[in-house]
Amino acid sequence: MATWNSRGLRGSVLEDMINRTNERYLAEGLALIQKIPTPITPINIDKETRHITLAYFDQKSTVDYIGAVQGIPVCFDAKECAVNTFSLQNIHPHQVAFMENFEKQDGIAFFLIYYTGRDEMYYLPYKDLKVFWDRAQSGGRKSFRFDELNTDYFIKHKADGFVPYLEALQKDLETRD
pLDDT tens digits along 28-77: 999 999 998 766 666 677 778 877 677 665 556 689 999 999 999 999 99
Q: Residues marked as binding?
A: 62, 64, 77, 95
pTM of this structure:
0.83
62 close to 78: Cβ distance less than 8 angstroms = no
- Sign of the CA dihedral 59, 63, 65, 68? negative
Tens of pLDDT, residue by residue over 89-120, are 999 999 999 999 999 999 999 999 999 999 89
Residues composing the chain = 177
Could you tell me which residues are beta bridge partners of residue 112?
A: 78, 123
Q: Residues marked as binding for Mg(2+)?
A: 62, 64, 77, 95
CATH of 4-174, one of 3.40.1350.10, 3.40.50.2020, 3.30.365.10, 2.60.120.10: 3.40.1350.10
Domain spans in the chain, listed from the N-terminal domain onward: 4-174
| DSSP secondary structure code for residue 153 in this structure | G
